[in-house]
Structure formats: structure tokens, C-alpha cells
Structure 1
Amino acid sequence: MIASVAGLSLLGSVVVAGPARAATVATVPLAPVVEQAREVARFWLADGAANLRNATPYTVLTVAAGERLSTGVVPDGPPVSISPIGPEDPPGDGAVTSGKVFFIGSDNQPHWCTGTSVQSNYRNLVATAGHCVFDVEAPMGALGKWVFVPAYSDGATPFGLYVGKQGISHYDFDDIRDFDRDYAFATVHSGVVLSAPDVLTHVGRLGDRVGGMGLAVNQPLPPVADVFGYPAGVHPDGTGPYTGGTLERSTGPTFAVRTTRPPRMDRPIGVDSPFTGDGSLGSAWVSGYDEETRAGYLTGLTIGVADTDGDERYDTGVSPYFDSALFQVYRDAANRWTGAITTMSG
């Protein structure tokens, strides 16, 4: 029987001793101080959001190589599902929980991945690929000036911009770069917009504005999953069907995969998807997506794409399997409080 939890207050915090927790959960500061968070928000929103518009897709570790398997995936614990939450004021069409995460990479340039709002106690949590929060090109620390913009489209921030406060992942990803743990959650301060030059206006908590996806852990692979992301770049054959400007959606079956070159993984999973890798890292795999509520259950996060049939076009998104280790990281992240960075409201 699936243990379904509607409110995270029933889950409580991760109750383990300090050393045990340190061996499981790794954290990095993003912008923990209010004034620092304000500076980050202004960096992205100033000059008509020029830095958002000029950011380019993140191209680090975008391509995997592997083959599809007919076997299933064996859970390592009891199945658990966390129910999604809806926004206070239902927005327009589309999966508004998804958006772009923006940051400064090791090259000191602005880049983006895909992220999605996830249910949490304080309605302040974003899920994405681990290497879209932790910088794998440097001694492992955080990527700079990290923010989330839900429903981003061609420079617009329709529900505000949310500055990251803290990044949380599994210790094995931070320490030994175990790509079975290539996932991360980021707590975000309440959202802001720039209402006048250098004037930030408060717009509320992330989950209140756009809702949050639920979470499925230790579950059988769903027959199909909807993938939401911002792919860009080209296929190996040189064709480039995506620009990364607006949110894209693909739907396909899920399956176990075997990776055949680094980054190696013990039990990755795949989804049939034509997304190219650049920009789509962190794309949400959603099972049970409801067109009316525009919510469902997060079952995977794209950490790379693969061409599994050799036709020079990407056909598979690759994700870690959501197991008990991910759930422990999630529970820790979902109970971390954040607040507003300005008292002004629109």
C-alpha cells in the first residue's frame, strides 16, 4: 500500500543524530542573508531583466550514453507519495510550477537549467538536477546568484523571481559525485518583482503563487510521464528544434536504462522524450498530471539525454531513480524555513 501524505507536517523533520545527518545531506549556501538576496534579485531584474534574457543554456554534463532495458527497478524501501498543492489563485494555462533556474557558472557567465516548484511545509522549494545547484566544474560548491523564475517565457517573470537561500543534495553527490544522487532541492526566499528602478516588490511565497508538484518515491515506474522543460541546442545530426525560450512538454513511457559511459550510474531510469540536453537539465518528469489543476507527482529529473537507437537524434531523458535516499534529502529540505527579502507588497 502506498503511504500518501497530504501535508508535510505529518512527516516532521528528519530525526537523526548530527553525524548521521551530515553523512546523508549536503548543503550549500546560495543567498542566505537578506541584503545579499536583494542584490541577487536586482542583478537579474535590472535593465529590463537583461541578464535573464542574455543567459544561455547550461551545457555541462548534458549528454549520456546508454541502452533501454526491459527490466524494472527494485525499490529499496516502502513506497511513499506526497500530494501536490495548488496555487491560491489558479493561473492561466500551462504547468506554471515549472520554470527556469538561472545562475552564474564557473565561466562567470549567466546560464539556465529547468526547475519545478515542489510541495513543502513552507511552500518554498524547487527541485532540479544536482549539477544545476552544485558546481561540478570547481571544488564542489554552489553555482552563483541562483534564482528560480516559474513560467518563464522570453524574459517575462509572470509570478515573480525567487532567490535561492540554500541548496540541499545527497552527501555522496557533493563528496564523490555519485550521479545516482544527481538531484537537488533549493529553498527560495519569497518572490519579488522590480516595480521601479532598484525597487523590489514582494509577491508572496512560491507555492502560494504557482502551487507545487507532489513527489513519488520507491514507486514502480509509471507507464508514461510528462516531461516539462526548456530544451535548446541541437541533436547530433545538427537539427535544432528547440530555442529554450518557452516551456516545452513531451509525453512518453518510462523504463530502466543502463549507462555505458560516464557519468556512470547504478540504476538510472529513462523516459521517451525528444528533448535536447542544453537547457533541459532539471526538467520535471510528472506522473498523473492533471490538466485542470496543472499538477501531478514528480517521478524524475533530467540529468542528461541520450540517443539510444543510434539515429543521431536524442530520444531519451535520463534521471536517478527516486529512492529512500532522495526521500531523506527531500524531507530535510522540505522543512527549512525561508522568508521575505522585502516588506513592500504589490
Structure 2
Amino acid sequence: MNTRAKRLALPLGGALLATTVVGASLATTAEAKPGRKSVTLSSAKAAQSVAKFWTSSRLKAAQHYTEDSDASGKFKTSRKAGADGSPGMIAPDAGNRSAGRSKNVNLPTTVGRVFFAVGGQLYYCSASAIESKYANLVATAGHCVYDTDSNQAVDKFVFVPGYHEGKANWGIYVGAKFHTHYDFANFEDYDRDYAFVNVYNGVKPGRRGWEDVGRLSDQVGGQGFAWNQPVGKNVYLFGYPTASHPDGDRPYSGETMKYCYGKTYPGPAVPKYKVDEGVAVKCAFTPGSSGGPFIQQYSSSKRVGYINGVVSLALDTDANNRYDRISSPYFDGETAAIYRYASNLWTGKLPWVR
């Protein structure tokens, strides 16, 4: 992908990321590197209050996050996103969650909701566990971890894989640190609207207090990762659409996971969000699905494939008050560099958990 002129300050280059980082780095404050911004979400000590905060009633009370997630109008086609290097793939981890053969699409156990607070209000987006060295990584949209209005991280961030009607059967995973592209965090550039989040071991309340349920991907598996792939690939989209269409029709409850299937193409240019090199799929998802994965080569029997995008914007492209397209940033070598950095960070078990 060619370098965008709208990048105002930082140069590109090979010195994007280190790959060996000790767990102590999770206690640092915001850290900016060329192409990457890393921000602490919660220390291990503070994670206790975060986990306790998200009761079943609060999980159900959270609202879909519509801030910076949709647009409507007649759009021009964006420039075709192109690779900035060789294509690559990281294999998924199916764990023990294979489903066998089925005529229906078996939903991935890796996908769930992320919950957080902004300005005291409770919100959620969609997300997925993704393969990493320490089985502790989540992929979602940048705007689901970083509030561009206040220019700071969201509060009380947790991931609940397999969320269903207020239940967290595989535990609650408190966010430790997120990593997004510098251009998203500093210029609100939705061509870079993605984030990778390291989470602590999952927890759940038990008879003798909070119990450790282990590492995320050990429990639900981890999707693979793909970058610099050609546009025109068939993908599945998974998430929790909730909001109504602009005409008021609300086809989704948001309490259960849904999917779309289609072929990526050079998506609409959306000046409001500085999107001019995105990809899109025909899909009637509504907000609430933000952060859900685009997965290519999805195996319904193994429930895994390769994440090659995340739901960024729900678009009404013919101005008929119905969402008809879902957009994603194009995952290129810079995305891969941020992913590699995040995938090598350790978090571990929380000290206050039995």
C-alpha cells in the first residue's frame, strides 16, 4: 500500500517494532513508536475492580457503540488498496473447539463482545481472539478501544468470548494494553481503524472468590492472521449487530452472534472518516458489529480461519436509509508489524485470583 500523504508527522521505516518485551512493560503509560501507539488499559491490581464491575446486569445494560461507526450517502469508490510487501499468514489455533461437519455455519468460539465505558456510559463492540505467543490477544476496531473525542483510552475494558444474553461462560478477560496505528490515534484515520489488545487470564466468580479460567486462546482458540492479501477474496464477517437501520427497522437483538458472507472489493471512500483505501463487503450489519472479524478461508468444522480485516463502518451507500455495506481497513505490512509486536507480549495470571 502506498504511503498516504495525510500522515503528517512520522516517517515509515523498518524500525517499527521490537519483538521481545517483558511483562513489566504493561505498567507503562502511553507509548508511541513510528506506526504504532500502545496504551495501558489496566494494571494487574486495577483489573480486580474492572472484573467485578461487569456483572451480568451491566453486561446486558451496555449499549452498542454508535460513536464513529456509520455513514450514509452517495460515495465515490476508494483507491484500490494494495500490498506494501509480500503476503503473509499466521496459522490459527483451533484448540479443542472443532464442530464436525454441518450444512450450517458453525459460529466461531473466538468471537465475542468487548465491553467498556466512555464518559460514564456503558458500551460494547464485537471482537475476536487471535493467535499469539501467550494466547492472550484480541482483535477489534480502533474506535472500540480509543475514544477520538477525548483522545484517550476507553475505561473498564473487558473481552467476553462467546457472549450470549448476559452470560460469560468462558470468563471475563480484562484488557491490559492495546496497540493501534499512530494514524488512527492521532489523525482519526479510519484506514487504520484496528487494534490488538492483550488481555490477562480470564476470571469468573466462584464459591471461594474469583477463579482463574486460564489463557484466552487456550479456552476458545485463536484465529489466524493474514496481511497483504489480494482484494476479491471471499470472507465471513462475525459480530453482534444491534442498532436499527436509519429507517428505524431493527432486525437484530445484539444478544446473539450473527454472520455475513461476501467478497471484498475496493470500498467506498468516506471523507468524514478519512477513508480512501478501505475494503468493503455487501452486508446489512448494523452498528454493534464494529470490531468483528473479517475471516478468510474460514473452516466451519474447525471454527477458525485467518482474520484479514475488522468491521469498521456500517454504510448506507445508496441513501435509502438501510445499511448495505460494511467496511474494513486493508491489512498490510504495517498492520502485521503492530500485530507481531502485540502477539509477543506476556500478561499472565492476575495475582488476586485463586
Normalising to structure 2: TM-score of the pair? 0.86
Number of residue pairs aligned between Structure 1 and Structure 2? 322
Q: Relative to 1, partners in 2 of residues 1:306 and 1:88: Cα closer, same or farther, differing over 3 Å?
A: same
What's 1:82 paired with? 90
What's 1:187 paired with? 198
Give the superposition deviation at 1:250: 1.2
- Separation in 2 of the partners of 1:259 and 1:151? 33
1:53 lines up with 2:60 in the alignment: yes
Q: Relative to 1, partners in 2 of residues 1:79 and 1:58: Cα closer, same or farther, differing over 3 Å?
A: same
What's 2:112 paired with? 99
SS at match of 1:112: strand
Counterpart mapping for 1:227-246 below 5 A: 227-246=237-256
Q: Which runs of 5+ in 1 are unaligned?
A: 1-11
Q: Relative to 1, partners in 2 of residues 1:21 and 1:58: Cα closer, same or farther, differing over 3 Å?
A: closer
What's 2:26 paired with? none
Aligned identity (percent) is 38
The residue type paired with residue 248 of structure 1 is K
Counterpart mapping for 1:1-346 below 5 A: 13-14=18-19, 22-32=33-43, 34-45=44-55, 49-65=56-72, 67=75, 69=77, 72-88=80-96, 90=98, 94-106=107-119, 108-138=120-150, 140-196=151-207, 199-277=209-287, 279-342=288-351
Kept after mapping to 2: 8 A contact 1:218/1:324: yes
SS at match of 1:209: helix
Greater Cα shift, 73-82 or 308-317: 308-317
Kept after mapping to 1: 8 A contact 2:78/2:278: no
SS at match of 1:35: coil
Q: Relative to 1, partners in 2 of residues 1:70 and 1:143: Cα closer, same or farther, differing over 3 Å?
A: closer
SS at match of 2:51: helix
Q: Which runs of 5+ in 2 are unaligned?
A: 1-16, 21-30, 101-105
Kept after mapping to 2: 8 A contact 1:64/1:259: no
The residue type paired with residue 317 of structure 1 is I
- Separation in 1 of the partners of 2:327 and 2:140? 13
- Root-mean-square deviation over aligned CA pairs: 2.2
- Separation in 2 of the partners of 1:77 and 1:91? 35
Normalising to structure 1: TM-score of the pair? 0.88
